[in-house]
Structure 1
Amino acid sequence: MSKTSARNFFIVVCITPAILLFTIFMVIPTIDVFRMSLYQWGGFSNEKQFVGFENFKFLWNDMKFIQAFQNSIFLIVIVAIVTLLFAIFFAAVLTNKTINGRGFFRIIFYIPNILSIVVIAGVFSAIYDPSSGLLNSILGVFNLEMWQQKWLGNQQIVIYSVAFALVWQAIGYYMVMYMSSMASVPASFYEAASLEGASSFKQFTDITLPLIWNNIRTTLTFYIISTINLSFLLVKAMTGGGPDGSTEVFLSYMYEQAYGNSTYGYGMAIGVVVFLFSFILSAIISHITKRDVLEY
């Protein structure tokens, strides 16, 4: 066996297990989701009835799904925008060498990301408790009783309570990513800009943001995927989709239909819509935010 053949054989041996695992646990289940979305099936019997696109037709007339769709869009937009702004702001502050205790604050901000989403749900459920929760207690201390709410029981504001928990959990992770990108920008750029009389804000908008733009583009896709996934876990642990479906999201409604109501085929139809929505939205954002790569 030649040296080139031996090298190619070694590469094949190394990547084959990964390809097999990816195919078995990702590709095949994804294809099966698309296949089962065309059937009417309870999920536990051997009787499957092919119904074509009837599940999808019913889906677009399902007001509960439409509400879950609206809630998911709201969370994706709000969480992405707020997390992006705060993560970039704190990253810029903590990369400033004049700030004392930067390492300590990095750890503090990152801690929420290493906590289980169930733990986060428990913490915020306690904070939002209307009778003994921290939030209403603080409002009471400052004589703001008129602002006290049933934060997880009021249909008008409960989705904002969930959004705040998602933002709190995500800021530290993205802040660290932006800090890493900012740290790689040559200091000479800022020195030259200072000599030209550019303010700190001008340096940030004209030097820092353009040079970390590719990182921002990448994290925008992360926002979409992580919000869809984490909102399901947080909603299931914190509100269960209530009150009256006001916090139901894509995946929680899919789970309820597939495994709670024994309408597995309909649940898989929702899964197909979520998959296509995530893919299309990520492609649109990638196209909109595309720009020439700046090199240094």
Structure 2
Amino acid sequence: MSTLTEERTEESAATPAPPPARSRLSRWGAWASVAWFLVPALVLFLVFVLAPIVVAVWTGFFKWGGIGPMDDFVGFGNYTRLFDDQVFLGDLGRGLYLILMSVLVQLPFALFTAVLLNQRLRGRAVYRMLFFAPYILSEVVTAVLFTMIFLPGAGMADHIAGFLGIEGLQGKWLADPSTVMPTLFVVMIWKYFGFHMMLFLAGLQGIPSEILEAASIDGAGAWQRFRHITLPLLGPTIRISVFLSIIGSIQLFDLVWVMTAGGPNHSSETMAIAMFQFGFKRYQVGYASAISVVLFMISLVFSLFYQRYVLRRDLSGAVTSGGDR
């Protein structure tokens, strides 16, 4: 009998006691607090992000003008028409042009300026402010300003071209298909390079000065220090800057819309401009929805690919589980 009693005592001791009611209430209170802060954000995300995506995908299967019921189902007809449209294929080419020019011209220029302003220069704070100031302006204000600068006959650009002896460019900046895209890209550099310059400056100031001093003592020159120390340590910042530059080039809209509206003769049109034109000017909402879906898929696929293969080593230690602490 005593042995049986001891076994029951041991089993009862091994069985954990149920948590007290106060502990359960505190746990439910913690979950309620999480829900209180999380649910509004989820609702906004569902209403303003996921729902428009679903609606655009569904609308892209119809030939619809935006008014009345959607009863003309065309399946993938809008997408077939899309990739048979030479203007849209030109939009893809112009987007690629902006991407290449941003990565190969704008970012190196921003990096060079950041390296220069990271030196001990007199008045460098003023230069940093002046170079970053255009980024603060809205795209519409920037577009209106440069529309006046490139105004044929009376704009500052024509006067400068005449002074430099390149009269052939006068009046052609935004009016000629051969010059409109380079002109727009000059405006893009003026508007956005200051943002990337500040990113590079932040990255440069995060590099320990002891490493550069040690390399200098070992006899490394300025170019060797930049190539073998600064650039590798600045790699994460450069990769983030490239990502933001490419996504911005893909989705460029308001700057181009105010300055040229995609003209002349579609020579400055982007995918976002085409989407707006068909959706709100020509009332071909189904076709515009198909353009928006393609634009979204290009951005999504690029973002996933870039994060998986380019940002992987930068993000590998960013997320840790509780067991790793």
> TM-score, normalised to structure 2's length?
0.84
Equivalent position to 1:33, from 56, 62, 69: 56
- Provide the C-alpha distance between the structure 2 equivalents of 1:93 and 1:174, rounded to a whole number of angstroms: 14
Using the TM superposition, give the Cα deviation of residue 48 of structure 1 relative to its aligned residue in structure 2, in angstroms. 2.8
Say if 2:282 is the partner of 1:261. Answer: yes
Contact residue 62 and residue 70 of structure 2 kept, 8 A? no
- Describe how 1:92-103 pairs up with structure 2 within 5 A: 92-96=115-119, 98-103=120-125
Q: Please provide the CA RMSD for this pair.
A: 2.0
- What SS does the corresponding residue of 2:263 show, helix, strand or coil? coil
Q: State the number of aligned residues.
A: 293
Structural mapping, 1:6-155, within 5 Å: 6-96=29-119, 98-155=120-177
Alignment partners' CA distance in 1, 2:136 and 2:306: 28
**Which structure 2 segments of 5+ residues have no match?**
1-21, 318-325
Matches within 5 A, 1:143-182: 143-182=165-204
Aligned partner letter, 1:122: V
Per-residue CA deviation, residues 141-171 of structure 1 (Å, 9 max, x unaligned), is 2333345351111111111111111121110
Which structure has the greater CA radius of gyration? 2
Q: How does 1:197-216 map to 2 (within 5 A)?
A: 197-216=219-238
Equivalent residue letter for 2:255: L
Q: Distance in 1 between matches of 2:182 and 2:75?
A: 38
Q: Write the letter of the residue equivalent to 2:189.
A: V
Give the Cα–Cα distance (whole angstroms) in 2 for the partners of residues 121 and 226 of structure 1: 16
Residue 269 of structure 1 aligns to a residue whose secondary structure is helix
Residue 269 of structure 2 is matched in structure 1 by 248
Q: Does 1:278 align with 2:299?
A: yes
Worse overlay, 276-285 or 197-206: 276-285
Contact 2:260 2:268 in 1 (8 A): yes
Secondary structure (helix, strand or coil) at the match of 2:253 reads helix
For the Cα contact (< 8 Å) 2:161–2:169, is it kept in 1?
yes
Indicate conservation of the 8 Å contact 1:235/1:247, yes or no: yes
Alpha-carbon distance between aligned partners in 2 of 1:152 and 1:292, rounded to the nearest angstrom: 43
CA distance in 1, matches of 2:158, 2:85: 36
Q: How much does 1:290 deviate?
A: 5.0
Do the aligned residues in 1 keep the contact of 2:153 with 2:170 (CA within 8 Å)?
A: no
Report the AA paired with residue 279 of structure 1.
Answer: L
Distance in 2 (CA, whole Å) between partners of 1:6 and 1:209 is 49
> Do structure 1's residue 188 and structure 2's residue 188 form an aligned pair?
no
Identity value in percent: 31
Q: What secondary structure does 2:75 align onto?
A: coil
Segments of 5+ residues of structure 1 without an aligned counterpart are none
